[in-house]
Amino acid sequence: MALTERQKLILTAIIYEYTQREHAVGSKSLQEHLDIKISSATIRNEMAALESDDLIKKLHTSAGRVPSYEGYRYYLDHLMMTRRATDRDVQAIIQSFRGNFHEIDDLLDETARTLSNLTGYTALILKPRRIDIKVSGFRLVPLEGHQLIAVLVTNDGKVTSQTFKLPNEMAIESLESMVAYINDQMVGRPVNDVLRMMQSDELPTQMSRMIKTPAAFLQLFGDVLARSNGDNVHIGGRLNVLDFSKETDIADVKPLLEFLNNAEDVRQIASPTRDVQVKIGCEIGEPLLSEFSLITRGFLVPNQGSGIIALLGPIPMSYSTNTLLTDAFGEALSRKMIEYT
């Protein structure tokens, strides 16, 4: 549809006013905030034209107007003032990260928290989906009370650990040969291959030659392997979604929180493109998120592919600010990831 310049100014002003106050916008308020001098009657006529084009709508409880989904979409596609993140923007974000991060997961957790704190919304980050993660090392650390920690390191820099209680009849010294076997035979092999070896009894058969009852150890090793291969969502401001959801009963909100924790579900609604993308309401393709807007951008992990950074918030939001932040954080992650290659 073709809008006049005046209609574009009025639509932009309505979206700005509604985003700031979340109250229906009337002609009198617009007259005070528009940069051009125009009568209330003319504004009302232009608002009627915008309403007939389904770009704004009238609420039953007010004489004012609010943007429709179509109005937001038109604004995003044609009216929003945008710019890409500059080097200064990106460096400021990198410097805001607190501390040194020995693991990629720690960096992603901090990034999600920082973006969420800046916006007040929910930040979601996914690493590239890898199928070639390999075992780099395995060890057992004794604790008190016949307990130990199993530690598995993979070639993507991830350290996975799990606490385990040994059966009373088993001494940790009896497991040393099994740990040595794993480090000698399994290091450098893809985690998926090792998991298949366990399921096919090949690995259990090898280990049974070293210890009479390897079942408990195999269970432990299998659990740590599976967790190291998991696809996790790094979330900042998880509960912020409750501020923008119409649901107030915790039973109704639970499916939404479960959805955000599921990496496969998040991948279905977000694509790892270098350009920032904005989806609103039904465009997201998930009924649980029909009240939200989703801003996404990919970030590059050398030799691994693209990860995804996403910002989930209400439909009335400052899109120009939040698209810039998402772009800057995505580029900052791309640069930081070089340190882990």
Contact 119, 311 (CB under 8 A): yes
- pLDDT truncated to tens, each residue of the chain (341 aa)? 789 999 999 999 999 999 988 889 988 888 888 878 888 899 999 999 999 999 999 877 667 899 999 999 999 999 998 888 999 999 999 888 766 777 788 889 999 999 999 999 999 999 887 767 889 999 988 888 778 888 999 887 788 888 887 777 677 777 788 888 889 888 998 888 888 887 776 766 766 665 555 566 777 788 888 777 777 899 999 989 988 877 666 777 889 999 999 888 999 999 888 899 999 999 999 999 999 999 999 998 877 788 999 999 999 999 999 999 999 999 999 998 887 66
Orientation of helix 5-21 relative to helix 40-52, angle to 10°: 90
* Side chain identity at residue 210, one-letter code: M
Tally of CA atoms within 13 A in the half-sphere of 50 that contains its CB: 34
Task: Order the strands of the 159-165 sheet from edge to edge.
Answer: 135-142, 147-154, 159-165
Of 113, 85, 76, the closest CA to residue 293 belongs to 76
